């Protein structure tokens, strides 16, 4: 059986090593990949996103988490020393390009959710007006079509949740605090019932958004 011989550059080898290390949960490799992406992002983000520093920081963080989760769920992985992507084909281009595509999609989504940043007078507004938001490209980049799809959609929706919902659900499901304790930690919520209602509303909003995206993805 004929075997294709692939020639790899030192950059491809380095990237394959980083992705493999990330998948193996090597902390050193995780940090190396983080620094590799951060160097590239902060040198180039102004050409990709027209965002203030604080917004850019948030986008970088969310994009890196999505990138990390894509590696964990083997949406990108290493085979025979080559970084593989969609449809088990070698990733076209560098992992940095892949990472920046996630960042760009996160940025456009951010603009859609924060209309003040997407004002037609701003550069982001002009960009959205010119290019629009390609929902298909966005979901394709972030969501699998396999069994993990709902989890991936939820991860993305959670990253875009309001601060208040994020705070309540994190304290409840991650820190495993009881509602009484959470109530004492968020003095702006006046009563136990009010907190419980807010928590349920957040869950409902999450469910609605995730279901809508899920349906869209299935129909695409």
Partner 1 sequence: MDEKFQDGIDDYLLNRMSEAEKSAFLHEVEQDDEKKKQLEFTKQVRDAIRSREEKLQVLTRFQEDYDKERNVGVGCAVGTEFTESCHSDTTATPVPVRSTKKMWFWISGVAALVVIGFFAVRPMWLHESSSDYNGIPMEQMRGGDEVFTPASADSTDNDTVRMGIDKKETPDE
**Shortest Å, Cβ 26 to partner 1:** 12
State which residue, 121 or 176, has the beta carbon closest to partner 1: 176
What region, left, alpha or beta, does residue 129 occupy, with left being phi > 0 and alpha being psi -120 to 50 degrees? alpha
Nearer to partner 1, 65 or 133 (CB): 65
Q: How far is the CB of 168 from partner 1 (least distance, A)?
A: 11
Q: Do the Cβ atoms of 182 and 192 come closer than 8 Å? A: no
Distance CA 217, CA 149 (A): 9
CB of 156 to partner 1, least distance (A): 9
Instruction: Yes or no: say if 103 and 49 are a contact pair by the CB < 8 Å rule.
Output: yes
Shortest distance in whole angstroms from residue 64 CB to partner 1: 7
Nearer to partner 1, 135 or 151 (CB): 151
- Angle subtended by helix axes 123-131 and 95-113, to nearest 10: 100
Give the footprint of partner 1 on this chain (CB under 8 A): 30-31, 34-35, 38-39, 41-43, 53, 56-57, 60-61, 64-65, 68-69, 150-151, 154-155, 158-159, 169-170, 172-174, 176, 200, 203-204, 206-207
Alpha-carbon span 191 to 37, nearest angstrom: 44
User: Shortest Cβ distance from residue 116 to partner 1 (Å)?
Assistant: 23
Residue closer to partner 1, measured from CB, 61 or 123:
61
The residues, ordered by sequence, that sit 6+ positions from 117 with a Cβ below 8 Å of its Cβ are 51, 55, 110, 111, 124, 125
């Amino acid at each position: 059986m004929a075997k294709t011989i692939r020639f790899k550059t030192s950059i491809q080898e380095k990237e394959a090593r980083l992705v493999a290390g990330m998948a193996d949960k090597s902390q050193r490799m995780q940090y190396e990949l983080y620094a590799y992406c951060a160097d590239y992002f902060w040198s180039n983000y102004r050409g990709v996103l027209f965002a203030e520093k604080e917004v850019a920081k948030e986008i970088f963080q969310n994009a890196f988490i999505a990138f990390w989760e894509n590696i964990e769920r083997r949406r990108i992985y290493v085979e025979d020393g080559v970084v593989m992507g969609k449809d088990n084909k070698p990733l076209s281009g560098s992992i940095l390009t892949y990472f920046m595509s996630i960042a760009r999609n996160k940025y456009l989504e951010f603009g859609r959710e924060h209309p003040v940043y997407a004002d037609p007078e701003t550069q982001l507004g002009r960009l959205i007006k010119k290019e629009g938001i390609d929902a298909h490209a966005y979901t394709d980049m972030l969501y699998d079509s396999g069994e993990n799809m709902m989890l991936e959609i939820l991860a993305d929706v959670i990253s875009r949740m309001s601060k208040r919902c994020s705070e309540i659900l994190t304290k409840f499901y991650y820190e495993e605090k009881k509602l009484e304790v959470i109530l004492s930690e968020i003095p702006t919520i006046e009563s136990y019932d009010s907190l419980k209602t807010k928590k349920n509303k957040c869950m409902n909003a999450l469910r609605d958004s995730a279901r809508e995206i899920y349906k869209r993805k299935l129909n695409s």
